[in-house]
Structure 1
């Protein structure tokens, strides 16, 4: 029964992820931890989200911005390998708090008027940003829609955002799972649950695409920002005991 509830929850999460341009990793963390334990969360999510990304790439193939993908490619591989290798030896609580606060800060974009940006995001800027984000993803398992503000600042369409982000996610999660396997964090149970949740994501992505086609760009941007705030809140909530410990020592 627990597994069925987790799969149903994953289905809903992946629909929301398709509509918001990402965030499934943070939303899935509490669900996955229920069935496999905290230590296996990162590799299970890597497999399941990788499968979900494959379906998004298939559905949004013609909208992928290959110029952006070119800049993201090397930094994603390098960053994810470095992050996965640090996964087992570093305390990641402070990083998760920082990322959570950063995601929550995007709430100020809700009622922001559309004015010309003072700093224009260019394609090559995604190389250093991709390096940092992929490193953090390998280190803590997932960072949610952390780069979505950059995609929106670049002026990308909602379909192109989903397709390009998913193409890069396949590369990211493939590199991560190979690294996790090499380090001994992948076993039969991890693969089993990763595939089961991943198959649930395939159906959810298709359902999300149907809804997305009827959604305006303005609503899409608001959902993206809302998902970033929610993801940040969940990341802080997941580390609530650590936050309480910090406050007690102040």
Structure 2
């Protein structure tokens, strides 16, 4: 029954993730934690999101912006290895609170989604990718943290999903190798990671069918809404820490 509930949740979440440009990890983390434990969440999500990203790349291959991917390539590898290395030794509570606040603040940046306040250039993705990959390796997932950069760069909804997913494959493969090296990939982690990953690949296909029916403007709006929701969920999950600070 637990496996069924996790897979049903994964199916729904990954359809939503396809429509919103990411965020599956934040929505699934609480459910996965109940089943496999908090410490196994990061490697399970790395495996499952790596598989779902593979299906997105296949579906959106012709829309991938390879120039952006090349800017992200080295920083993604370095950042994810460093984050995975510190995964066991650092408390991630404060980092999750900071990321949550950044995600929630997106609503003020995109009051008019069709008119971004600043223009992001391709080379900006190198330092941003390093930071996001490090945080992803450290806490397991950062949701759609870079989506505002993709939107302000000016790419289409299909290009955002394809490029982001190509980079996600690189990110999560590096994280899986790092987690395995440090002893966090167990048989149970592999089982749940693969089951959720296969479910997500099916969900991505259905998500693509829905995506084709929505406009670019509406896509931007739901991406921003998903970023704010992800931030609220992250803050709620760490509410005890916030109360201790206050």
TM-score (norm 2): 0.98
**Structure 2 matches for 1:1-250, cutoff 5 A?**
1-109=1-109, 111-112=111-112, 114-115=114-115, 117=117, 119-247=118-246
Of 48-57 and 106-115, deviating more is 106-115
Cα 1:113–1:195 change in 2 (3 A) is closer
Using a 3 Å threshold, how does the CA distance of structure 1 residues 113 and 202 change in structure 2: closer, same or farther?
closer
| Aligned-partner SS, 1:90 | coil
Change (3 A) 1:220 1:114: closer
Report the Cα distance in structure 1 between the residues aligned to 2:100 and 2:3, rounded to whole angstroms.
28
Runs of at least 5 residues in structure 2 that lack an aligned partner in the other structure: none
Distance 1:108 1:216 in 2: 22
Q: Following TM superposition, by how much is the alpha carbon of 1:2 offset from its aligned partner in structure 2, in angstroms?
A: 1.9
1:109 Cα deviation from its structure 2 partner: 4.5
What count of residue pairs does the alignment treat as equivalent? Answer: 246
User: Cα 1:189–1:126, aligned 2, differ >3 Å: closer, same or farther?
Assistant: same
Q: CA deviation at 1:110?
A: 5.2
CA offset at residue 116 of structure 1? 6.3
SS at match of 2:119: coil
Q: Please list the CA deviations of residues 161-190 of structure 1 after superposition, one character each: whole Å capped at 9, or x if unmatched.
A: 000000000000000000000001011000
| Distance apart, 1:107 and its partner CA | 1.7
Aligned Cα RMSD in Å?
Answer: 1.1
Q: Which runs of 4+ in 1 moved over 2 A?
A: 108-111, 113-117
Q: Secondary structure at the match of 1:91?
A: coil
Mark the CA change 1:114 to 1:40 in structure 2 (over 3 Å): closer, same or farther.
Answer: same
Distance (whole Å) between structure 1 residues aligned to residue 221 and residue 109 of structure 2: 8
Following the alignment from structure 2 to structure 1, what is the Cα–Cα distance between the partners of residues 110 and 225?
8
Separation in 2, partners of 1:93, 1:113 = 31
SS in 2 for 1:144: coil
Taking the aligned partners of 2:120 and 2:240, their CA distance within structure 1 comes to: 37
Does the 8 Å CA contact 1:79/1:132 hold for their aligned counterparts? Answer: yes
SS at match of 2:245: helix
